[in-house]
A = this chain, B = another copy of it.
Amino acid sequence: MPEMFKVLPPTDALKVLFDQLPADVRVETVSTADALDRVLAGNLVARSSLPAFPRSTMDGYAVRAADTFGATESLPAYLTVIGEVSMGCPSPLMVAPAQAAVVYTGGMIPPGADAVVMVERTQKLDSSTIEVLRAVAPGENVINVGEDVKEGESLFDAGHLLRPQDLGGLMALGITQLSVAARPRVAIVSTGDEVISPERTPGPGQIRDVNTYTIAGLVARAGGIPVPQGIFGDNYEILFSAARTALENADALVISAGSSVSTRDLTADVVNNLGKPGVLVHGVALRPGKPTILGACNGKPVIGLPGNPVSAMVVAGLFLTPILGRMQGIVTPPVRRRVTATLTHNISSAPGREDHVQVRLAERDGQFWAEPVFGKSNLIYTLVKSDGIVRVPLNASGLYRGEPVEVELF
């Protein structure tokens, strides 16, 4: 491995990469109905007020509040009912002094009225007269024009990740199309003379491809579109040609390389020749995942992953989410799913290296316990049997049994 590249802490490594990536975001227009989990590409301002008319929050009578002042059960106010406000229609009614109109929840307050008396606070005397048993203040049980959103109000800033309620809020204002960041297409190249497609039956010395599928899952979770390219042999010409084609048709490239020193160097050579500036980081202060390669080739990120399934997934999990988040212009990344748990065993580490240790969670006595799942990083089932990861910080020499730890759930 060329030693000209320093082994960087993960956050520094990411910064080095980000400095070489363009800040602009590829934009596309989608229907708001299809925009869940997409990232807004521009700021949005309300073009109209919501609601556009005063609405009742109760079933009752639209009245002039002043007509009810002083009303009590023993001394009610008497009002003449002039009709009923139909839902969804312009109301021909006009509420004059000492008058009331039947109105339902969500219905329009007719002109003249400024409050609603709940039906439970009234008594019907005859077909056109009610007693109001309690006073209402002006505006009571009414949503005023613009109380939800005012025309000209800022709704969302660019970089906002859209949630179910956001789609509803946009639809309420008639915003049915949105400019959002395109989902980054991430090409996945798997390499290794010993690696075969999972459909095939391995011969002696052969293993089935694992990393294409774990990485594709992580890409999808991070908002990207995985574009698996297949499996390629450990040969510079073959790998370079595959990587070049893949990157031409994608926004980013992940190469899951072999784990031996020679194949790691192969990946670095390929990344250096794919575009400028090439390899930026070759080695990260991380376990597992030290031999990670981060590069930028003509503005597109390229990640070279260690071939071991555990290392590959830890590295992809650590770097893909922020890289794809940046490519989509996400401003505030969503909080990850995590729980606080008590560690059941000591974890040793080395200062100067961030350790990511898989743990299994158990819930006992209303409390989470995190049990480290130790295992060689070649064993995919150490990840399958785990619920999440505990990070041992860069400068810690380990974590102790009984300590509270944050477990990031897979």
Q: A171–B210 contact, CB under 8 A?
A: yes
Q: A165–B410 contact, CB under 8 A?
A: yes
Is A269's beta carbon under 8 Å from chain B? no
Q: Which of A95-149 contact B (CB under 8 A)?
A: 104-108, 143, 147-149
Q: What 10 pairs between A and B have smallest CB-CB spacing?
A: A164-B217, A88-B194, A168-B214, A165-B383, A90-B204, A104-B260, A105-B259, A171-B198, A108-B205, A87-B193
Complex interface: chain B residues within 8 A of A379 (CB):
143, 147-148
Of the 9-residue stretches A3-11, A47-55, A70-78, which lies at the interface with chain B? A47-55
Q: B87–A208 contact, CB under 8 A?
A: no
Is A392's beta carbon under 8 Å from chain B? no
Output the least CB separation between A318 and chain B (Å).
Answer: 13
Is A299's beta carbon under 8 Å from chain B? no
Is A337's beta carbon under 8 Å from chain B? yes
Q: B52–A381 contact, CB under 8 A?
A: no
**Given the complex of chains A and B, what is the CA–CA distance between A381 and B163 in angstroms?**
12
Q: Which of A33-57 contact B (CB under 8 A)?
A: 33, 36, 50-53, 55, 57
Name A106's contact: one of B33, B166, B192 (CB within 8 Å).
B192
Is A331's beta carbon under 8 Å from chain B? no
Q: A106-B258, A194-B107, A198-B32 are in contact. Are A171 and B209 (CB under 8 A)?
A: yes
Task: Name the residue among A33, A88, A174 with the largest chain B CB count within 10 angstroms.
Answer: A88
Q: B216–A33 contact, CB under 8 A?
A: yes
Complex interface: chain B residues within 8 A of A85 (CB):
205
Q: B205–A89 contact, CB under 8 A?
A: yes
Q: B378–A106 contact, CB under 8 A?
A: yes
**Given the complex of chains A and B, what is the CA–CA distance between A297 and B121 in angstroms?**
37
Q: Which residue on chain B has the smallest CB distance to residue A377?
A: B57
Name A260's contact: one of B106, B309, B335 (CB within 8 Å).
B106
Complex interface: chain B residues within 8 A of A366 (CB):
none
Q: A204–B55 contact, CB under 8 A?
A: no
Name A's interface SS: loop
Q: Which residue on chain B has the smallest CB distance to residue A52?
A: B202
**Given the complex of chains A and B, what is the CA–CA distance between A172 and B216 in angstroms?**
15
Is A376's beta carbon under 8 Å from chain B? yes
28 contacts between A and B (CB under 8 A): A36-B220, A57-B378, A86-B193, A86-B205, A87-B205, A88-B193, A88-B205, A88-B206, A89-B204, A90-B204, A106-B194, A107-B194, A148-B378, A164-B218, A164-B221, A165-B384, A165-B386, A165-B410, A167-B213, A167-B214, A169-B384, A171-B198, A171-B208, A172-B207, A172-B309, A174-B200, A176-B199, A334-B337
State how many copies of this chain the complex holds: 2
Output the least CB separation between A65 and chain B (Å).
Answer: 18
**Given the complex of chains A and B, what is the CA–CA distance between A262 and B104 in angstroms?**
9
Complex interface: chain B residues within 8 A of A199 (CB):
174, 176
Q: Interface readout for A311-352 with B: 1 if CB under 8 Å, 0 if not?
A: 001000000000000000000001111010000000000000
Is A380's beta carbon under 8 Å from chain B? yes
Complex interface: chain B residues within 8 A of A339 (CB):
335
Name A381's contact: one of B148, B220, B334 (CB within 8 Å).
B148
**Given the complex of chains A and B, what is the CA–CA distance between A7 and B193 in angstroms?**
65
Q: Which of A142-201 contact B (CB under 8 A)?
A: 143, 147-149, 155, 163-169, 171-176, 192-196, 198-201
Q: A33–B213 contact, CB under 8 A?
A: yes
**Given the complex of chains A and B, what is the CA–CA distance between A359 and B143 in angstroms?**
21
Q: B53–A217 contact, CB under 8 A?
A: no
**Given the complex of chains A and B, what is the CA–CA distance between A50 and B211 in angstroms?**
15
Is A234's beta carbon under 8 Å from chain B? yes
